[in-house]
Amino acid sequence: MMCGIVGWLNYDRSLVEEKQELEAMTSTILHRGPDATNHWLDEDIGFGHTRLTVVDPAGGAQPMTVMAGDSNYTIVYNGELYNTEEIRQTLYAQGFRFQSYSDTEVVLHAFICWGERAPERLNGIFSFAVWDEKKKQLTLVRDRLGVKPLFYAESGNNFFFASELKAILANRLMDPVIGEEGLHELFALAPSRTPGHGVFKGIHELRPAHLMTITPEKKTISRYWQLESLPHTSPFAQTKNTLHELLVDTVERQLVSDVPLGTFLSGGVDSSILTAIAAKKLKKYENVTLPTFSVDYEENAAHFSSDAFTPAEDTAFIEAMSNRYKTNHTVHTIEQEKLADLLGEAVEARDLPGMADIDSSLLWFSRKMKEDVTVALSGECADEIFGGYPWFHRQELVDRPLFPWMSSLDTRESLLHQDLAGKLDLEAYVKARMQETLDETPLLDGESSEDRQRRQLFYLNIIWFMTTLLDRKDRMSMKASLEVRVPFADHRLVEYVWNVPWDMKQFGGQEKGLLRKAMASHLPTKVQKRKKSPYPKTHHPKYSELIGTMTEEILKNKNEPIHDLMDEKALEQLSRTRGFEVKEPFFGQLMTGPQLLAFIWQVNHWLKTYSVSVKL
C-alpha cells in the first residue's frame, strides 16, 4: 500500500501528550493516503500513518502492532511488496500466523523473524519503521533503489522521520533553514540532490538500501544491499532469454491490486514493454482490458521540432501499441496556462524547487489518471540500467568532467547574487559530491579503463539521475493519491543487467539494443526501433511567454526573496529573452531556457511559501 508515514522519538520525556502535534505533522501528507489516517503513541514514541488502500482494505490498517515473544512490535509502512506470498509461506512454516493478507503484516513478521536481515528478503518498494517495545529500539528501512522516500531529523533529544520534508517541518521544533550546504545543493545540483541530504539544515535522507537503528545508547546506519560486479559469462542468446523471463516475471508480480490498475504509455520502448506484458496477462487471466494513458500539450504538434534529445513525437507510437493490444487508451491534453499555474503546487509536492513544468505536467497528468485508476505502472529506471540516455553514447558527453547530464555550471554561476558568488564554489562542490559516488562504485578487477569509466557512469546514473526521476514520480503521483510502480527498478533485474557487457546492452549499435531484442515479440516494429525520446514537454511559445511574464513580475517586486540570492541583471536578461539563449539543457534532456526560467520562479515560490531563512 502506498502511504505516508511519520514518527517522533524522544527517550527523555513522554510523548503521550504530543498527539495534537503528531496529528499536525501527519495531516501535511494526507494526499499520500486519503483513505484512512491513524496515530499511535507510547511513552517514548509516536507514529502517524495515512493510507492509500490498494490491497486488503479491511486487514491492512496501520500503525500495526503484533505481540511476539515478550515484546510488542509496531510498524508504519509505505510501499508494496511483490514477493508477499513467498515470504508468508516461509514464515508460516516457522510458526507465524497471520490475521490479514496485507503485505504490511508480512513485513512486520519478517522483521520479527529476521531482524535487520529482513530487508534482504524483500522484493518491493518500501520505507518503513518498526518499534521494538522491549528493546526500545526504532529501526528505519528504505528500499534498495530509493523508490519510496524517507527523511529524518534531530532537534535536541527529539528524532523525527517522515515520508516528506513538509511533515518534519510542520513540527514546532523544526525551522526551514538552509546554510552553505543547502545553497550549494540548490544552485549547484538542483533539481537533483546529494544522496542522503535533505537540503534544509538538520534534515537528512535515509539513503536507498540503508537501514538505521536507534536505541537509548546509540544510532547506527548500515547498508544492507549493494550492486556486485562479477564477470558475465552467458552468451547473448542466453542473456536475452534470461532478461525476457526476468522482466515478464517482474511486471506480472506488480499487477496485484484490489483497485483499478493501468499503465503510463508514451509509445517509447520502456512503457510499451510494460503495457504489452500487463495487457496480455490481464486479458488472458482476468479478461480485463488494460487502461493506458498518455499526456500531450495544447497545440504541441504545431510547434514541435526534432532535435538530438527529442527526435520524434509520441502519437504514432502510442497508437501502434494501443491498437495492437486493444487497450482502453486516454490522451490527456494540458493547456499552457494550467502548466504554468501548477508550478507552485509542484514545488509544494516536492518541498523543493524541482523540474519546473516537467513536474507540473506530471502532477496534472497523475490527477487525470486518478479519475480512472488508483495504481499505474511506469517505465522509469530502464534508461539508467540499460544505458539509454545520450550521455551513454556521445563521447563528448561521456568525457564531461562533471555530471554528464549537467552542462550548465557557467550558467548557474552567472545567476548567483554577487554576495554569494564569493562564498559558494559550485564547481568544487559538484566535483566533491560526484567523486564520493565514483569512489563507492563497485568495480570489477581486471576491467579496461574504458569499461571502468562506463561502469562508473552507470553507477552515477543509478545513484543520482535515477533517484531524481524517482523523487519526481513519487511526489507528483502521490500528491494526486496515485500509486505508481516501477518494474525496471526490481533489484533482481538491476543486479542482472549491471554485469551485462556494454556491447550486449547496445546490441546492434542501438541504445538499449539488448532490451529491444529480448522483448521484440511484444512490440510493433516501429516501436521496437524507435529512438530514445524522453517524457514529453511543451514546445509552445505561449508557455515561454507565460513563464517570462511570471518571472518579470517577481523581478519587479523588490521584496521577493529571490533578489537576495540571484543576480538581478542576469535574471532580467534571461527573462527578457524568455530563456531562448540557453540552447543546451540546464539539466537532463528537457530543461532548456523556458524550464530554467520556470525553475527560477519555483525557487522564489519555495523561499516565500516555506518561509526559508538563509543562515551562513
> Which residues are catalytically annotated?
3
Contacts by 433-437, CB closer than 8 A, 24 or more apart: 433/189, 433/194, 434/402, 434/403, 434/460, 437/195, 437/463, 437/464
Please state, in angstroms and rounded to a whole number, the distance separating the CA atoms of residues 52 and 30.
Answer: 9
User: At 595, is the secondary structure helix, strand, or coil?
Assistant: helix
267's CB contacts (< 8 A; 6+ apart) are 294, 314, 315, 316, 317, 318, 319, 320, 321, 527, 530
The beta-strand segments (E) located in 416-515 are 483-485
| Residues 144 and 463 sit within 8 Å (Cβ to Cβ) | no
CA 525 to chain centre: 31
Q: Which three cell numbers stand for residue 600?
A: 527560477
Pairing of strands 151-155, 375-377: unpaired
> For residue 577, what are the CA distances in angstroms to 55, 467, 565?
51, 32, 21
> Phi first, then psi: what are they for 474, rounded to 5°?
-65, -50
The beta-strand segments (E) located in 349-407 are 375-377
Pairing of strands 124-132, 71-81: antiparallel
User: At 39, is the secondary structure helix, strand, or coil?
Assistant: strand
Please state, in angstroms and rounded to a whole number, the distance separating the CA atoms of residues 357 and 564.
Answer: 24
Please state, in angstroms and rounded to a whole number, the distance separating the CA atoms of residues 12 and 158.
Answer: 9
Please state, in angstroms and rounded to a whole number, the distance separating the CA atoms of residues 520 and 529.
Answer: 9
Please state, in angstroms and rounded to a whole number, the distance separating the CA atoms of residues 260 and 371.
Answer: 10
- In terms of Cβ atoms closer than 10 Å to its own Cβ (0-12, 13-18, 19+), residue 441 is middle
> For residue 21, what are the CA distances in angstroms to 16, 64, 200, 202?
11, 21, 20, 19
User: At 280, is the secondary structure helix, strand, or coil?
Assistant: helix
Dihedral class, residue 47 (left if φ above 0, else alpha if ψ from -120 to 50, else beta): beta
